[in-house]
Amino acid sequence: MTGSQGNNYGSSAREPKPLRIALVSTEAGWYGGERQAYLLAKILREKGHSCTGIVRKGGQLAQRLERAGVPIVTFKGRGRDPMSLMTIRRELKRLDPDIIQFNDGQAMNSGPLASLGLSAVKIAARRVDFPIRSVSRYRRGVDLVFCVSEAIREVCIESGIPGSMLRVVAEGVDPTRMESGDRSKGRASLYIGEDVPLLLSVARISLHKGHEFLVKAMKKVAARRPDAMLALAGEGDLFESVKEQVSDLGLTEQIRFLGYRSDVPDLMKAADLFILPSIMEGLGTSVIDAMFAGIPIVTTEAGGIPELVRQREGEEGPCAWIVPPADPDSLSDAILEAMENEEERDRRSARALERANREFTAEAMAERTLAAYREALADRG
């Protein structure tokens, strides 16, 4: 870590000073990015730093931060109207943070304008791996972009953001969340017994998550294993169209739509196999959840997912079955292979749990973020 004389942001000669951080979020729902912001804010405060959420009024993040005792300031809507912009700017000036982090793409529409002229280091979080439409927003609006995977870093470079602005800061999850899961409760909630092979996918049902390819793959899986059931937990804009696809393929007995679920840890523990069929993915925190749950995983090479589960040099094997995106035949083959090879399931899930505990806890994510904050402040001098 770099540093400069005269400050103690990155100095090891004395105790680093606590930081003042503002997290700006415009999202109303509860997705991976909001969960990361929530965990980060909680841990930063536990470590003695000042962290305030500047968040959308009535949004899930606002509600959860407030319940956790994290200070919040709210604004209406997506923060783009004049009154909301004034609110965000007034609170940023009052807080005088060292770091301002814009947690989502919409925050990049209002945050840089609201923070114009402030001395804080401004950071954008980038969690999705599709090309950036407006590169100028990043080049002019922030000092750094935090990418949750090397794959996203490469997308940012290809889009035109200089490599000097990019830092890879991988996400993490709370491991105790999955430890709390109860297999019996999960299966009881689905009205199935222990004899039913349960496949589970937890993801927003949208285009980049690849549910249509998983449904196609299930046609072959069901032909060989008609006893298996696939549970899809999540909502999204393609919910109804995927349901129609399931009906058209005659798979309504094999595939169940669960919608939004608050008992994901129970479902994870109840499952015999976790599947994430993404065709685009920043990193995949639901995969990390499955790693902590200790269940075998079938997923794709999309985005940053291989950085979680691929075999690394010196290791005996991968942490999951990994197939090309948008390839239902390869996906069905991997699902069937995993279902029929108990010893290999155990080996891969054990490797996954070990790696998750070593690299992908929320605590590790917060430490990576703090190190990047201090490096940015030290570089500024």
Are residues 249 and 271 both part of a single domain?
yes
Are residues 338 and 373 both part of a single domain?
no
Are residues 295 and 196 both part of a single domain?
yes
Are residues 220 and 154 both part of a single domain?
no
Distance CA 280, CA 301 (A): 9
Query: In the prediction, which pLDDT does 177 show?
Result: 94
Q: Is residue 10 part of a domain?
A: no
Query: In the prediction, which pLDDT does 131 show?
Result: 85
Are residues 189 and 232 both part of a single domain?
yes
Q: Is residue 2 part of a domain?
A: no
pLDDT tier at 95 (50, 70, 90 boundaries)? very high
Are residues 346 and 371 both part of a single domain?
no
Q: Is residue 199 part of a domain?
A: yes
Q: Is residue 235 part of a domain?
A: yes
Domain count, the chain: 2
**Block residue for tokens 């965990």:** 39
Q: Is residue 334 part of a domain?
A: yes
Query: In the prediction, which pLDDT does 8 show?
Result: 52
**Block residue for tokens 């931060």:** 65
Residue 66 has pLDDT above 60, yes or no: yes
Are residues 114 and 40 both part of a single domain?
yes
Are residues 353 and 216 both part of a single domain?
yes
Are residues 237 and 139 both part of a single domain?
no
pLDDT tier at 175 (50, 70, 90 boundaries)? very high
| Helical segments of 180-317, H only | 183-190, 211-224, 239-248, 264-270, 285-293, 305-309
CATH number at residue 133: 3.40.50.2000
* Structural domain containing residue 269: 176-359
Q: Is residue 9 part of a domain?
A: no
CB contact at 8 A, 264 and 233? yes
Helix (H, G, I), strand (E, B) or coil at 232: strand
Are residues 244 and 316 both part of a single domain?
yes
Are residues 155 and 194 both part of a single domain?
no
Residue 74 has pLDDT above 90, yes or no: yes
CB contact at 8 A, 335 and 217? yes
Are residues 185 and 59 both part of a single domain?
no
Distance CA 148, CA 165 (A): 14
Q: Is residue 8 part of a domain?
A: no
pLDDT tier at 2 (50, 70, 90 boundaries)? very low
Q: Is residue 4 part of a domain?
A: no
